[in-house]
Structure 1
Amino acid sequence: MNAQVSMQTPGIDSQGEPGGVPTDTGTRRGRKGAGAAKASQWRLIARRFRKHRLAMIGLIMTLFLYVVAAFAAFIAPYGSGDLNAEFTYAPPTPLQVVDTSGDGWDWGLYYHGYSVEQDPETLALAFTVDESVKVPVELFAEGPEYRFWGLFTTNVHLIGPADPDTAHPMYLWGADRLGHDLFSRVVLGTQISMSVGLVGVSLAFVLGITLGGLSGYFGGRVDTLIQRIIETFMAIPTLPLWLGLAAAVPRDWGPVQQYLAITVVLSLVGWTGLAREVRGRFLSLREEDFVTAAKLDGAGKPTIIFSHMLPSFTSHLIATLTLSIPAMILAETALSFLGIGLQPPTVSWGVLLQEAQNLRAIATAPWLMLPGAAVVVAVLSLNFLGDGLRDSADPYR
């Protein structure tokens, strides 16, 4: 008697009909498949972005810089024009939390004052930190008045000396050649250095995508016309254009208006590189199967361009946008450093670095290079953020 062995497929009974008990593996796969089907493209991008450590660091630092820019007048202990000529090139006085000079530990924010000595031969003042002088510091302290976002006038600052009329000012990052608080001026300079270039970047981005997309999609005479326009703009030298615009802008305009006007004009020249990159992408994508399918489905040309072709290289556009902002920050810093960008009394990182041109000042007060550190932090943060967004939005990853 031959024994008959019944082989039964999980989920199928012996008669070949559904009814068996599904395995736990199949259930897990079904749940995973259902979860993946519900995940949108932006959710997948966000999930990959959160795993990029450098990108997260760049995002946090970038958000921090823009928060500082938004609340700069409140964070800075002094205004951009507040100075004390008796403390030129005064060294930094970092905040202290614990005082161990007495018998026990005394907790509380404070900083040490200064002692001044004059060289009998050169008559130069030499400042040293006097640890015997203890100046209390408090949060939400009273200080110079300012207009908060142009809405109302207040004199409350995030941090400052408990006595606003103290004989020992609070110079956390030292003072410059006129006795300005360098920390306050770096914080206030964040407003211009992190924001004034956004207008030019946005305008160049829109022009580059629009004209480059039209050139690559339509080709023929449209492509030839736009390419000749691009070549004309690329032939204009940038630095002489800056010099000419700096002399042509009306003198009755404010310094920020002058720089904004120059930035907008330069953005009309700076879109050419992005336009050529977008054109090359469109030339390679317009013959792809998904574009042909969209045409056969009756989609219009704007829909094909903005809904099908542009999203296919979103990662490249995001990287270009995020890298253009630090390029604008570096341009503002370099031009202000050379004296053809923003000018005092406007405060930006580039204007503050103008004092770094004097080697004797740098040897005397090396803390004058701190605005350069702010530029490095901003540029690196935006670069890390751009790299992370590019990698997260890359459709081939």
Structure 2
Amino acid sequence: MTSPIPAPGEPLPHYVSTAPFDPYSVEVMTEEQVRVNQASQLRLMWWKFKRHKVALVSGIFLAVLYGMILICEFLAPYNLHTRNMDFIYAPPQRVHFFHEGDFVGPFVYGRTMQLDMDTLKRNYTDNRADVQPIRFFCRGDSYRFWGLFESNLHLVCPAENGQMFLLGSDRLGRDVLSRIIYGARISLTIGLLGITVSFVLGIVIGGFAGYHGGVFDLVVQRLIEVLQSIPSIPLWLSLAAIMPATWSPIFIYLGITVILGLLDWTGLARAVRSKLLALREEDYVLAAQLMGAKSSRIIGRHLVPGFMSHLIATATISIPGMILGETALSFLGLGLRPPITSWGILLTEAKSVSVIAFYPWLLFPTIPVILVILAFNFLGDGLRDAADPYK
């Protein structure tokens, strides 16, 4: 429907401007609009990520954990292998601040042990007359920091000639809290190393299969289908059992990392292939080809950044999967082996139902596993939304 043209002498409609045209008039932007227009892509992603509160808290939690593994020897109250045979299977101790109405500060009560001859269970009772203050920034068990130099400085220590088992002790009298802190170094880093292997294989193999197609794409797809048809746990067990028992702990650690990376690349490779099949027909890809760009540069500089949000989400979901994989292998006795300590190795202490019934605190290593997996999933959701240009 066209608007009627006013007759000569009639007033102009309200939607027709009678103001003279000023070619120098410019709309003035607000400070907020200027800040957004001048911001880089990373800054825009950070602003969107901050709005996802759960993801932000999860990221801070994971950053704290990964920072802790750098100084786990300092944070742990005891050395990894310190044993106290007088306190085998000691339950967790409560931290108190007041003794008989007086403020003392953080302390624990000393304990006495009695052996139940019927069940052979050790029963511990608090000795209210034995107040053992908790020390901070103190000297305790000696250790080699990252295997480089000797030290005995700890963040927290038991009292002189006292004992402190905040999360209990195991069958050898070793502090469960200290072993969980030490085990975090292995369990958290194995996910990062494994995802590095998986991403390199997935992006390279999937990228070339989707970009070039042909026989290489056909072979890759059949290989992926074969690997994905094999049950994961039996495949893990068979590959882990191949590693010789004479290998050193560090070689076993690297072997488990490579195994987890080799088995996890298939899903990412298929996703990369499907994305590149669609993106390789775009005009900017043809322009790059006409300018003489190599395939590796086109894939790495132009195609892969186009679906970075999907890659970020895949990485944050794959890392907890690898942590669970290492935990399962170590729990079954086919993964890492002592003296290396991980959360999976700590859970081998709780294989028996009778042990769990008498000493439930041996299941405490499952708590950091659950928290880390949830944190990675929440972080992945926030990063995916922040990197998605359509949100």
With the length of structure 2 as denominator, give the TM-score of the two structures: 0.88
1:75 matches 2:75 = yes
- 1:220-259 to 2 correspondences below 5 Å: 220-234=214-228, 238-259=232-253
Which piece of structure 1 moves more, 248-257 or 227-236? 227-236
Q: Structure 1, unaligned stretches of length 5 or more?
A: none
1:190–1:348 contact (8 Å) kept in structure 2: yes
SS of the residue 2:92 aligns to: coil
Q: CA separation in 2, counterparts of 1:222 and 1:359? A: 51
Whether the aligned pair in 2 keeps the contact of 1:69 and 1:191 (CA below 8 Å) is yes
> Does residue 27 of the first structure (1) align with residue 28 of the second (2)?
yes
What does the per-residue CA deviation read over 1:123-162, in whole Å, with 9 as the maximum and x for residues that have no partner?
5421122333210121112111111122210111110023
Match for residue 106 of structure 2? 109
CA contact (8 A) 1:140 1:156 kept: yes
Deviation (angstroms), 1:74: 0.8
Aligned-pair CA distance for 1:78: 0.9
SS of 2:163's partner is coil
Distance in 2 of aligned mates of 1:213 and 1:160 = 53
Determine the C-alpha separation between the residues in 2 that align with 1:108 and 1:336: 40
3-state secondary structure, aligned to 1:27: coil
The alignment partner of 1:79 has SS state of coil
Q: Distance in 2 between matches of 1:254 and 1:375?
A: 26
Q: CA deviation at 1:287?
A: 2.0
Note if contact 1:319-1:386 (Cα within 8 Å) is conserved in structure 2. Answer: yes
1:159 to 152, 156, 159: 156
Task: Return the alpha-carbon distance in structure 1 between the equivalents of residues 224 and 24 of structure 2.
Answer: 69
Query: What residue in structure 2 maps to residue 318 of structure 1?
Result: 312
Are 1:210 and 2:204 counterparts? Answer: yes
Q: CA deviation at 1:232?
A: 4.6
Give, in whole Å, the separation in 2 of the partners of 1:72 and 1:17: 68
Which residue identity is paired with 2:172?
L
The answer to whether the aligner puts 1:181 opposite 2:175 as a matched pair is yes
Q: What per-residue deviation string (whole Å, max 9, x for no partner) do you get for residues 159-203 of structure 1? A: 00231xx1x411011111221111111111101111123222201
Give 1:330's aligned residue.
324
1:282 — aligned with what? 276
Select between 239-248 and 141-150 the one with higher mean Cα deviation: 239-248
C-alpha distance in 1 between matches for 2:294 and 2:34: 33
CA distance in 1, matches of 2:198, 2:223: 15
Give the letter for the 1:242 counterpart: W
Q: Which amino acid aligns with 1:53?
A: K
1:30-64, CA deviations, whole angstroms, 9 ceiling, x for partnerless residues?
x5554333111111111101111111111111011
> 8 Å contact 1:294–1:304 — kept in the other structure?
yes
8 Å contact 1:94–1:173 — kept in the other structure?
no
Question: What one-letter code is carried by the residue in structure 2 that aligns with 1:161?
Answer: P
Pair 1:194–1:225, CA change in 2 (3 A): same
Matched, 1:291 2:285: yes
Q: Which residue of 2 aligns with 1:49?
A: 49
What CA distance in whole angstroms lies between the structure 2 residues aligned with 1:310 and 1:54? 28
What is the aligned partner in structure 1 of residue 163 from structure 2? 169
Residues of 2 paired with 1:259 and 1:19: CA distance? 69
Structure-2 change in CA distance of 1:33 and 1:140 (3 Å): closer
Letter in 2 for 1:131: R
Matching of residue 345 in structure 1 with residue 339 in structure 2: yes
- The structural deviation recorded for 1:345 is 3.3
Matches within 5 A, 1:136-155: 136-155=133-152
Change (3 A) 1:33 1:150: same
* 1:203 counterpart letter in structure 2: V
Letter in 1 for 2:59: L
Structure 1's 212 and 121: CA in aligned 2 closer, same or farther, altered over 3 A? Answer: closer
Q: Distance in 2 between matches of 1:93 and 1:174?
A: 7
Cα deviation, residue 236, structure 1: 5.3
Contact between 1:312 and 1:395, CA under 8 Å: does it hold in 2?
Answer: no
2:129 maps to: 132
Q: After superposition, where does 1:368-387 map in structure 2 within 5 Å?
A: 368-387=362-381
Partner of 1:38: 38
Structure-2 separation of matches of 1:54 and 1:62: 12
Distance in 2, matches of 1:124 and 1:213, equals 59
- Residue type matched to 1:99 in 2? F
| AA matched with 1:213 | G
Counterparts of 1:134 and 1:17, CA distance in 2: 85
Q: CA 1:289–1:224 in structure 2 vs 1: closer, same or farther (change >3 Å)?
A: same
Distance in 2 (alpha carbons) for counterparts of 1:120 and 1:297: 84
Normalised to the residue count of structure 1, the TM-score between the two structures is 0.87
What is the CA–CA distance in structure 2 between the aligned matches of 1:122 and 1:275, rounded to whole Å? 55
Report the secondary structure of 1:113's partner residue: strand
| CA deviation vs aligned residue, 1:278-325 (integer Å, no higher than 9, x gap) | 101111222234434544566543333222211111000011111111
CA distance in 1 between counterparts of 2:273 and 2:120 reads 65
Residue aligning to 2:58: 58
Work out whether residues 256 and 326 of structure 2, in 8 Å CA contact, stay in contact via their aligned partners in 1: no
Q: Which residue of 2 aligns with 1:91?
A: 91
